Chain A
Amino acid sequence: MPTVAGPRVHWVSVLTVVFLAVFVLAVLALVAADLWFTNVEAMQKVLASEEVRHAVRLSLLTSVCTLVLVVVFAIPVGYALSRYRFPGSVVLDAVVDLPIVMPPVILGVSLLVFFRTPVGRWIESVEWMRFVYTVKGIVLCQFFLTASLGIRASKAAFDAADQRLERLALTLGCTHGQAFWRVAVPMARGGLAAGAVMAWARAVGVFGPLLIFVGAVPMKTAVMPTVVYLEVSIGHIEPALAVAMLLLAMAMVALVLLHWLAVGRRRWWAS
Chain B
Amino acid sequence: MLKIRDLALEAGEFRVEVAALEVAAGEYFVLLGPNGSGKTLLLSCLAGLLRARRGEVRVDGRDVTHLEPRQRQIGYVPQDYGLFPHMDVARNITFALRVRGMSHGAALEQLTPLVDLLDLRKLLGHWPLTLSGGERQKAALARALAIQPFLLLLDEPVSALDWPTRAEVLEQLRRVQKELGVTTLHVCHSLDEATAVADRAGVMVGGRLAQTGRLEELIANPANAQVARLLRPAPVAPRPEKGQRE
Residues of A at the B interface (CB closer than 8 Å) are 164-165, 167-175, 178, 182-183, 186-187, 189, 269-271
Given A165-B82, A167-B49; A172-B95 close (CB under 8 Å): yes
The 7 closest A-B pairs by CB, nearest first: A170-B69, A172-B96, A171-B69, A171-B76, A168-B82, A186-B86, A173-B99
Q: 30 A–B contact pairs at CB < 8 A?
A: A167-B49, A167-B69, A168-B76, A168-B82, A169-B99, A170-B48, A170-B49, A170-B68, A170-B69, A171-B48, A171-B49, A171-B69, A171-B72, A171-B74, A171-B75, A171-B76, A171-B144, A172-B96, A172-B147, A173-B96, A173-B99, A173-B100, A175-B70, A178-B99, A183-B84, A187-B84, A189-B86, A269-B85, A269-B129, A270-B127
In the bound complex, residues from chain B placing their C-beta under 8 Å from that of A189 are 86
In the bound complex, residues from chain A placing their C-beta under 8 Å from that of B99 are 169, 172-174, 178, 182
Given A164-B78, A269-B85; A169-B127 close (CB under 8 Å): no
Given A269-B127, A269-B129, A270-B129; A173-B85 close (CB under 8 Å): no
B143 contacts the other chain (CB 8 A): yes
In the bound complex, residues from chain B placing their C-beta under 8 Å from that of A182 are 95, 99
Bound-state CA distance A171–B151 (Å) is 12
Bound-state CA distance A72–B74 (Å) is 35
Nearest B residue (CB) for A182: B99
B110 to chain A: closest CB distance in Å?
A: 14
A140 to chain B: closest CB distance in Å?
A: 35
Bound-state CA distance A23–B78 (Å) is 47
Bound-state CA distance A269–B99 (Å) is 22
B47 contacts the other chain (CB 8 A): yes
Check if B95 sits within 8 Å of A171, measured CB to CB.
Answer: no
In the bound complex, residues from chain B placing their C-beta under 8 Å from that of A172 are 70, 95-96, 99, 143-144, 146-147
Interface of A is mostly: helix
A252 to chain B: closest CB distance in Å?
A: 29
Check if A165 sits within 8 Å of B84, measured CB to CB.
Answer: yes
Nearest B residue (CB) for A183: B84
In the bound complex, residues from chain B placing their C-beta under 8 Å from that of A170 are 48-49, 68-70
Bound-state CA distance A170–B127 (Å) is 22
In the bound complex, residues from chain A placing their C-beta under 8 Å from that of B48 are 170-171
Given A170-B49, A171-B75; A187-B85 close (CB under 8 Å): yes
Interface size on B (CB < 8 Å)?
26
A265 to chain B: closest CB distance in Å?
A: 10
Residues of B at the A interface (CB closer than 8 Å) are 47-49, 68-70, 72, 74-76, 78, 82, 84-86, 95-96, 99-100, 127, 129-130, 143-144, 146-147
Nearest A residue (CB) for B146: A172
A88 to chain B: closest CB distance in Å?
A: 22
Check if B70 sits within 8 Å of A171, measured CB to CB.
Answer: yes
Bound-state CA distance A170–B48 (Å) is 9
Check if A168 sits within 8 Å of B100, measured CB to CB.
Answer: no
Bound-state CA distance A167–B70 (Å) is 10
In the bound complex, residues from chain B placing their C-beta under 8 Å from that of A269 are 85-86, 127, 129
Known contacts A171-B70, A171-B144; 11 further A-B pairs (Cβ under 8 A): A164-B78, A164-B82, A169-B95, A170-B49, A171-B48, A172-B144, A172-B147, A187-B84, A269-B86, A270-B127, A270-B129
Nearest A residue (CB) for B78: A168
Check if A171 sits within 8 Å of B47, measured CB to CB.
Answer: yes
Of residues B47, B72, B95, B130, which shows the largest number of chain A Cβ atoms within 10 Å of its Cβ?
B95
A157 to chain B: closest CB distance in Å?
A: 13
Nearest A residue (CB) for B72: A171
Bound-state CA distance A164–B78 (Å) is 10
Bound-state CA distance A186–B92 (Å) is 13
In the bound complex, residues from chain B placing their C-beta under 8 Å from that of A175 are 70
B50 to chain A: closest CB distance in Å?
A: 10
Bound-state CA distance A187–B78 (Å) is 19
In the bound complex, residues from chain A placing their C-beta under 8 Å from that of B84 are 165, 169, 183, 187
In the bound complex, residues from chain B placing their C-beta under 8 Å from that of A168 are 76, 78, 82
